[in-house]
Amino acid sequence: MNNPSARRVTANISLTLDGRYHGPAGPGDLGAIVPYATTETARDHLARIHEGATTALLGRLNAEGFLGYWPMVAGDENADPRDRGYAKWLVGTEKVVLSRTLTEAPWDRTRVVDAPAADVVAELKATGAGDILVNSSASVIKALLAADLIDRLHLMICPEIAGGGPRLFEDGLPASRWTPALQETGELGEIAMVYDRVR
């Protein structure tokens, strides 16, 4: 990890003020997050997260949602250019989906792996170049935080309290220090932040 040319592992996720990535009603309970997803600040944030990334690492649920949605955006000439840029990147890049249930990938340029996230990242770091991006796959991000394998964290903080639902940062994570690389506040009070792991 101290090799400056080593692949960075980057992660992006939106959280409420109380640290939740969805509300108490389950993964579809995104009422405290969705209103902030299409602001100028959020779209600028989306445009940044894939800079330098050559691999998308996704959990199965996120892969199904993303790859059912973003390919249409990639082909939509009327879509916001920042959304379209991310969509084209996702469609064209190498995708690794962590799943215990999928046996083959239903998407192009995708392979399915049934292995712990930390092991998959170790293999990717040993064999490729460019950043490895985990976008919004909370289970994968949590596993990599627990293994202290995330080098850059992109956070969108939404100015609402969900009052329930799972948190990203749970007790038991290894202690770590981070330095801010960027902070922007949007018109609705959302804050885009980028933190780099200090090693």
Q: In the chain, what are the domain boundaries?
A: 9-22+36-198
Q: So what's the pLDDT on residue 183?
A: 98
Q: So what's the pLDDT on residue 3?
A: 53
The residue length of the chain stands at: 199
- 144 close to 23: Cβ distance less than 8 angstroms: no
Q: Which CATH superfamily is domain 9-22+36-198 in?
A: Dihydrofolate Reductase, subunit A (3.40.430.10)
Q: What is the DSSP string of 43-73?
A: HHHHHHHTTTEEEEEEEHHHHHHHHHHHHHH
Looking at the chain, which runs of residues are DSSP E strands? 9-16, 53-59, 94-98, 110-113, 131-135, 152-158, 177-185, 191-198
pLDDT by 10s per residue, the chain, length 199: 445 448 999 999 999 999 999 999 999 999 999 999 999 999 999 999 999 999 999 999 999 999 899 999 999 999 999 999 999 999 999 999 999 999 888 889 999 999 999 999 999 999 989 999 999 999 999 999 999 999 999 999 999 999 999 999 999 999 999 999 999 999 999 999 999 999 9
Q: So what's the pLDDT on residue 128?
A: 86
Distance, C-alpha 139 to centroid of its chain: 10
Q: Of 16, 11, 57, 14, which is closest to residue 162 (Cα–Cα)?
A: 16
List all residues 6 or more positions away from 68 whose beta carbon is below 8 Å from its beta carbon: none
* Element of type H or E holding 10: strand 9-16
CA distances (Å), origin 14, targets 116, 141, 148: 23, 12, 20
Distance, C-alpha 73 to centroid of its chain: 18
List all residues 6 or more positions away from 182 whose beta carbon is below 8 Å from its beta carbon: 48, 192, 193, 194
Q: Give, rounded to a whole angstrom, the gap between the first and last alpha carbons of the chain.
A: 9
Q: So what's the pLDDT on residue 112?
A: 96
Q: So what's the pLDDT on residue 106?
A: 86
Q: So what's the pLDDT on residue 6?
A: 80
Q: Cα–Cα distance between 181 and 152 in angstroms, integer? A: 9
Tell me the CB-side half-sphere exposure of residue 102, using CA atoms within 13 A.
20
Q: How many CB atoms lie within 10 A of CB 30?
A: 19
Distance, C-alpha 130 to centroid of its chain: 16
